[in-house]
Amino acid sequence: MILRLAGALLGLFMAGLPAAAADFDDPRRVYLALDRSADAVVESGGGRIRVVFADGARGLDRDRVLTWVQRAAGAVTTYFGRFPVDDVGLLVIADGGDRVMTGTTFGFGGSAIRVIVGRDTGDEAFARDWVLTHEMVHLALPQMDERFLWLLEGSAVYVEPVARALASQIAPESVWRDALTGMPRGEPEAGDRGLDHTPTWGRTYWGGAIFCLLADIAIRQQSAGRQSLRDAFTAINRASGGNTAYWSMEEIVAEGDRATGTGVLAALYAKMAAAPSPTDLPALFAALGVRLSDGGAVLFDDSAPLAPIRRAITAN
């Protein structure tokens, strides 16, 4: 989740924050906490992650936390070819529980991430976690106007599992399970006015992810497999410098399409920005050769027409 949130989404998020995190609701307090010497520094892909344990984060196993940070950074570095920013402060807040709970990424005062971690989080829970990888993906793209939040959140939803698969942290089946079960939530409902004008949770997160999947497929098709959405996002990251910049949608689309030598992002945005533009997801997943069995297992069909693209998306 990033700071530039629509008011309704921000209210829902803040209402669900654990009590310990309330001390750092104000982003200014996050930056103030990060303005002291780091408790540890993790390096990955040319980037420096300054880790600060809020108020000492008593009860947290610091070695486990730092291994988890290195793992998340490694996935994002794998996807973008380097860590998305040169320097980021990571404020780790300890709270009750046995999992990683939530995170927020900021860019207006320098790249910063706030993440809330349960004191009883074990190795398996840290290995399963997607939250920190999601937040680190947010470092890659510049900030945008609130109505484009769907692209910022949708890109993080889409890229996070792909990045983890590319880094051999999860299996491709996990990537496609997320897509099969999550993307239907991003389809337009009655009264939808397009991605730019329908700031619901489903459209913001999963509608944006659908846009990214469609873009990835189309770029690969038009470039005969030589380019992908990964190339577009990487170029945008390099040109902007990441989430401390502020870009328009026109700049995002133009740089991404320039990098891939296509007009995919411009065409898809024109189609989906101000109109519902539903996607026939069952047909799309059938063409990709992926489905869920009656028992919930992910099944692949390598004879499907888009199976080569499906395999390429997660190929490491």
Tens digit of each residue's pLDDT (9 = 90 or more) over 66-110: 999 999 999 999 999 999 999 999 999 999 999 999 999 999 999
Indicate if 83 and 229 belong to the same structural domain: no
Indicate if 83 and 203 belong to the same structural domain: no
pLDDT at 210: 99
User: Which DSSP symbol is given to 135?
Assistant: H
Indicate if 164 and 307 belong to the same structural domain: yes
Indicate if 159 and 296 belong to the same structural domain: yes
Indicate left, alpha or beta for 18 from its phi (over 0: left) and psi (-120 to 50: alpha).
beta
Mean pLDDT across the chain: 93
How far, in Å, CA of 165 to CA of 175, rounded? 7
Nearest CA among 134, 141, 123 for reference residue 162 = 134
pLDDT surpasses 60 at 9: no
Indicate if 129 and 251 belong to the same structural domain: no
pLDDT at 90: 98
Residues 284, 286, 289, 294, CA torsion sign: positive
Residue that finishes a domain, picked among 85, 113, 138 = 138
Indicate if 268 and 193 belong to the same structural domain: yes
Q: What is the mean pLDDT of residues 169-194?
A: 98
pLDDT at 188: 98
User: Do 59 and 116 contact (CB within 8 A), yes or no?
Assistant: no
Confidence of residue 60 (pLDDT cuts 50, 70, 90): very high
Residue that finishes a domain, picked among 138, 158, 180 = 138
Domain residues for 212?
146-314
Is 2 within a domain? no
How far, in Å, CA of 230 to CA of 222, rounded? 14
Token readout for 87 is 């320097």
Indicate if 110 and 134 belong to the same structural domain: yes
Confidence of residue 23 (pLDDT cuts 50, 70, 90): confident
Indicate if 35 and 74 belong to the same structural domain: yes
More confident residue, 291 or 23: 291
pLDDT surpasses 60 at 282: yes
Is 285 within a domain? yes
pLDDT at 25: 81
Is 1 within a domain? no
The label of the residue with tokens 């997320």 reads 178
Q: Where are the alpha helices (DSSP H) in 26-148?
A: 27-34, 62-80, 123-128, 131-138
SS3 content of the chain, % helix, strand, coil (to 5): 55, 15, 30
Beta-carbon contacts of residue 197 (< 8 Å; ≥ 6 apart): 147, 274
Q: What is the pLDDT of residues 159-174, one digit of tens each?
A: 999 999 999 999 999 9
* Number of domains within the chain: 2
Indicate if 185 and 305 belong to the same structural domain: yes
Is 199 within a domain? yes
pLDDT surpasses 70 at 209: yes
Q: What is the mean pLDDT of residues 203-223?
A: 98
Beta-carbon contacts of residue 167 (< 8 Å; ≥ 6 apart): 74, 75, 78, 79, 316
Q: What is the mean pLDDT of residues 58-63?
A: 94
Indicate if 197 and 281 belong to the same structural domain: yes
The pTM of the full predicted model, rounded to 2 decimals, is 0.92
